[in-house]
Amino acid sequence: MELKQVLSEKRETILRRWYDLIVESYPSETAHFLKSGNNEFTNPVGQTIREGISGLLDSIIQGGADETVTPYLDRIIRVRAVQDFAPSDAVAFVFDLKKIIREIAMDRLGDGLALEDLFAVEGRIDEIAGVAFNIFMECREKLYELKANELRSWTYRLLERVNESFEVQDKD
């Protein structure tokens, strides 16, 4: 039996466990909220994570290239980039998938499942983690750029007001 077949059979279990591990990376109140609803309107972050990990897992099972995982990663990472996560913590959820798959695969190794298949999937997950890190850094860079532009704009407006104030005083 191939690992991809095992992963397809255990897809819902994997997704549920993976989601739970991701939610555990949040503070307890946020985790409780993320677990409470499946509605995209009342829990958009939870829904984004669910859709993202579902697409990622499907891409791994089907053996997709980076282009197939990037949209799913991008949605999850954008959420985590604006939150208070260190880069390593923001992308750690990708490695959680390795743990889950390894647990499932170890149970089936004696049933004809090749260890090479497991290594190949784990290697693919490592590649995906690299892509996730790049996306995270691009998002953070954009955030810092926006903050710097806002500070520059705020400073400029403040200096304009000060100059206007001095012009009024000079006329008096």
Return the half-sphere exposure (C-beta side, CA atoms, 13 A cut-off) of residue 100: 23
Task: State pLDDT tens for residues 133-148.
Answer: 999 999 999 988 988 9
Show me where the domains of the chain are located: 3-142
Output the average pLDDT for the chain.
88
- What is the CATH code of the structural domain delimited by 3-142? 1.10.490
Task: State pLDDT tens for residues 34-91.
Answer: 888 777 777 899 999 999 999 999 999 988 777 889 999 999 999 999 988 999 999 9
Cβ-Cβ contacts under 8 Å for 46 (sequence gap 6 or more): 23, 33, 34, 35, 37, 38
Alpha-carbon distances, residue 153 vs 80, 161, 165, 166 (angstroms): 27, 12, 18, 20
* Residue % of the chain over a pLDDT of 90: 51
Q: What pLDDT does residue 133 have?
A: 95
Q: What pLDDT does residue 80 have?
A: 92
**CA dist., res. 21 & res. 44, Å (int):** 18
Q: What pLDDT does residue 169 have?
A: 65
Read off the pTM. 0.80
For the packed helices 11-24 and 87-108, what is the interaxial angle rounded to 10 degrees? 150
**CA dist., res. 17 & res. 143, Å (int):** 31
For the packed helices 44-62 and 11-24, what is the interaxial angle rounded to 10 degrees? 130
